[in-house]
Amino acid sequence: MKSPPGTRSPSISTARDELKSVASQPGDRPMMRALYRRARAQLRKQRKGRQPDDAEQKSGADTRRLFHELPVHQIELEMQNSELLDARSKLETLLEKYTDLYDFAPVGYLSLDELGRILEVNLTGTGLLGAGRSELLNRRLSAFVAPANRAGFLAFLAQIFARAGKHICEATLLRRGGPSFWAHIHGSAAVSAGGLRKWCRVVVSDISALMLSEEAQRRLEALADANRELRQEIVRRQEVEKSLKQSEQTQGRLLEQSLVLRDQLRHLSRKVMQTQEEERKRISRELHDVIAQTLTGINVQLASLAKETGANPKGFDRNIARTRRLVEKSVDIVHQFARELRPAVLDDLGLVPALHSFMKDFTARTGVRACLTAFAGVEELDTVGRTALFRVAQEALTNVDRHAQATRADVSIRKLADRICMTITDDGKAFQVQGMMQAKDSKRLGLLGMRERLEMVGGTIEFESAPGVGTTVQAEIPFGAKAGMKNARAKLR
């Protein structure tokens, strides 16, 4: 039964109103409009090529509109369903990806409440702690912290809920059924959707390998430092060993020199004692053969004088004259011995008069012309210095007489900056200075004696000898260096 004109079917009207109300919802209006346009376009495509029949032309405008809108809304609902299915598939795919990223992340993700109880944990976190999710949920994470680090971990949790931002903590975590490990923990506060419950996100990463590598690096650096110090110590010890070897070589040379000097001193001491004994023997012989005979002759003459006093006055005068000559000869011999032992003029008048007197007697005795040149300031030397120069000149001229076969000898004394230099030259035969110094016979005793005398007063001596030129002896001593002489004498003691 058809409805009267101007009226609408209640069911059709109700369906249309419901569709309009659905399409007029504020939240879905843009999407519904787009779906509506797409549905109408699709319906027009389906109706192309199909001619409307007589029934449709005869139906009323409302019926045509209703039947036109119903397929549109049907198509629209099918499209919405298809898009919802696509969205659900995408959400499931994204959920799977999120689950994979969350559970199989390289670090442990945990959600904790204010008391430190575990609300959520991924599979990596369960693997780090060695327990399943069901065992970990609602358990305190501090129970898995080593006792030595537990107080620091609790302070770390308090800081997370007290201040915004990221917080860092390092602690040793206990793994159930496995070894403990050193963990690096990041934490930040979060608020639930309702805003009533506080919780925080915690990221736990195992840094045991990093700590081991850092420890190994520190050990390597310490080992490198130790090796560097060891190399420096080796270099230092090599230098010390080298210096010790050089010192040993130097000590060896000094020991050899000391042994040579000791032998020289022993030989010199023996020769000095032999020379002293020979000199004493000579003086004793001279005293016995000359002075004793002379004194005996004087005694005989005095005895004969006592007998001839009254009998022969002329012979008495001759005997008196002969006795005087014997006494004068004895006095001259005694004076000669005294001069040879130590000239009194050296102590009474000085070095220059003593050298003049000695060189005058030297020329008269040997025939070698001797000449002396000196400056007057040399007398400012003390007795030790004057004696040393006199003995060097005496020994040098004695060697000229014994070995040089010279015709002339010159003695020169001059002043240098802070020293006195005495030079004795001759025109006689030359000799090998080095060979003579190393000889083991008595010929070198004069040279060693001169050197020894000058070293006693802090002086030096040099010998030069060349064929056709002669020999030069140059002796130098400090001028006015009494302290140096005292030190030299103290060394000899």
Show the DSSP H helices in 342-444 as ranges. 344-348, 351-366, 383-399, 433-438
pLDDT value of residue 227: 92
The span from the CA of 231 to the CA of 377, in Å, is 64
Cross-strand bridge partners of residue 183: 171, 206
Q: Which residues contact 207 (CB under 8 A, 6 or more apart)?
A: 170, 182, 183, 184
The span from the CA of 485 to the CA of 458, in Å, is 6
Q: Please, what is the Cα angle at 183 between 177 and 185, to 5 degrees?
A: 130
Question: Given the structure tokens 């001059």, which residue do they identify?
Answer: 414
pLDDT value of residue 150: 92
CA distances from 194 to 39, 48, 138, 353 (A): 40, 55, 20, 132
- For 347, other C-beta atoms within 10 Å of its C-beta total 12
DSSP assigned state of 145: B
Q: What is the mean pLDDT of the chain?
A: 77
pLDDT value of residue 80: 80
Query: Does the predicted model carry a pTM greater than 0.75?
Result: no
The span from the CA of 313 to the CA of 70, in Å, is 207
Top pLDDT among 309 and 8 is at 309
Query: How many CA atoms does the CB half-sphere of 154 hold within 13 Å?
Result: 10
Cα-flanking dihedrals φ and ψ of residue 18, to 5°? Answer: -65, -40
Instruction: Give tens-digit pLDDT for 35-80.
Output: 666 666 666 666 565 555 554 454 556 666 666 677 777 777 888 8
Element (H, E) at 328: helix 313-341
Is there a contact between 171 and 183 (Cβ–Cβ < 8 Å)? Answer: yes
Residue 434 pLDDT > 80, yes or no?
no
pLDDT winner (highest mean) among 37-51, 154-168, 331-345: 154-168
Show the DSSP H helices in 176-207 as ranges. none
pLDDT value of residue 458: 86
Query: What is the band of 26 on the pLDDT scale with cuts at 50, 70, 90?
Result: very low
Structure tokens at 21: 């109300």
DSSP assigned state of 447: H
Question: Given the structure tokens 């109880």, which residue do they identify?
Answer: 117
pLDDT value of residue 104: 80
The span from the CA of 479 to the CA of 415, in Å, is 8
Top pLDDT among 13 and 194 is at 194
The share of the chain scoring above pLDDT 70, in percent, equals: 70
Among 35-44, 303-312, 479-488, whose mean pLDDT is lowest? Answer: 479-488
pLDDT value of residue 403: 85
Query: What is the band of 341 on the pLDDT scale with cuts at 50, 70, 90?
Result: low
Interhelix angle 383-399/351-366, rounded to 10 degrees, is: 10
Please report, for the chain, how many H helices and E strands are present, in that order: 16, 10
Average pLDDT score over residue span 122-141: 90
Top pLDDT among 473 and 481 is at 473
Q: Which residues contact 400 (CB under 8 A, 6 or more apart)?
A: 368, 406, 409, 426, 428, 471
Top pLDDT among 289 and 417 is at 417
DSSP strand pairing (369-373 vs 408-415): parallel
Instruction: Give tens-digit pLDDT for 374-385.
Output: 988 888 888 888
pLDDT value of residue 118: 92
**Residues for the chain: how many in total?**
493
pLDDT value of residue 491: 37
Is there a contact between 375 and 351 (Cβ–Cβ < 8 Å)? Answer: no
The span from the CA of 27 to the CA of 43, in Å, is 25
DSSP strand pairing (167-173 vs 118-121): unpaired
Residue 169 pLDDT > 50, yes or no?
yes
Cross-strand bridge partners of residue 339: none
Query: What is the band of 168 on the pLDDT scale with cuts at 50, 70, 90?
Result: very high
Instruction: Give tens-digit pLDDT for 70-81.
Output: 777 777 788 888
Least Cα distance to 453 among 422, 411, 432 occurs for 422
Cα dihedral 176, 181, 182, 183 sign: negative
Core vs surface per residue 294-324: b (16+ CB within 10 A) or e:
beebbeebeeeeeeeeeeeeeebeebeeebe
The edge-to-edge listing of strands for the beta sheet with 460-466 is: 369-373, 408-415, 419-426, 470-478, 460-466
Structure tokens at 379: 């007398």
pLDDT value of residue 29: 53
Is there a contact between 457 and 388 (Cβ–Cβ < 8 Å)? Answer: yes
DSSP assigned state of 142: G
Report the first-to-last Cα separation within the chain, whole angstroms: 165
The span from the CA of 389 to the CA of 372, in Å, is 13
Residue 493 pLDDT > 50, yes or no?
no
- Domains and their CATH numbers in the chain: 10-102 (no CATH), 105-206 (3.30.450.20), 348-492 (3.30.565.10)
pLDDT winner (highest mean) among 265-279, 436-450, 455-469: 455-469
pLDDT value of residue 55: 47
Cα-flanking dihedrals φ and ψ of residue 190, to 5°? Answer: -145, 160
DSSP assigned state of 60: -
pLDDT value of residue 489: 40
Is there a contact between 286 and 278 (Cβ–Cβ < 8 Å)? Answer: no
